[in-house]
A and B are shown apart, each in its own frame.
Chain A
Amino acid sequence: IAGITQAPTSQILAAGRRMTLRCTQDMRHNAMYWYRQDLGLGLRLIHYSNTAGTTGKGEVPDGYSVSRANTDDFPLTLASAVPSQTSVYFCASSAPGTSEKLFFGSGTQLSVL
């Protein structure tokens, strides 16, 4: 089934460890996004990429990095995880000609202890 795949589904991580959340889409969408969702705060944009080879910072980029080597993949890396990065992370994509609507993955529940 076409769409966005995120991995892992959930992860418990010790503080200070490095972690990469994976996101792959097979819809050939040019734009991809990473959000975090915390109780009471809604979805907040971490980083985005409007096309392969380019990235940009969202509302809450500190402590995270991304890369966009190709159209399909958009990994999110926590270089040294901290407990405040405990959250649910959603990857999304969009494309022109589809009203720019966002397609979301099923999320990664990350707990940093």
Chain B
Amino acid sequence: DAKTTQPPSMDCAEGRAANLPCNHSTISGNEYVYWYRQIHSQGPQYIIHGLKNNETNEMASLIITEDRKSSTLILPHATLRDTAVYYCIVRPFNFGNEKLTFGTGTRLTIIP
């Protein structure tokens, strides 16, 4: 399994863009990058995923480098409710979620 590396914690001012990096230097060609977040005491929540193109949805944007060895999750206008642990995960396309490894993620704190 490819593994990911994330900083353990980050701060971001409210209203600013939060940029969360993830390194996945051993990612394979058939592996997607997924992002989830977990707000305190709740179950994790899916945010976004991508293969090699940049992706955007109502929650965030995902920027994947051309060599696919790293990615950045962008929360364009962070609010206090975005304070959470963010998990970057790689997932093989042709396998089920039982192959996922969540790791310990990045604890993002939004500062008022």
Contact = CB atoms under 8 A, between A and B. Distances in A.
Interface of A: 4, 31, 33, 35, 40-45, 48, 50, 56, 58, 90, 92, 94, 99-107
Contacts of B97: 31, 33, 48, 92, 94, 100, 102
B96 A43 contact: no
A43 B44 contact: yes
A57 to B, nearest CB: 9
A-B residue pairs, 8 tightest by C-beta: A104-B43, A43-B102, A101-B46, A48-B98, A42-B104, A42-B102, A104-B44, A90-B43
Contacts, number: 55
B7 to A, nearest CB: 15
B68 interface: no
A50 B95 CA distance: 11
B34 A107 contact: no
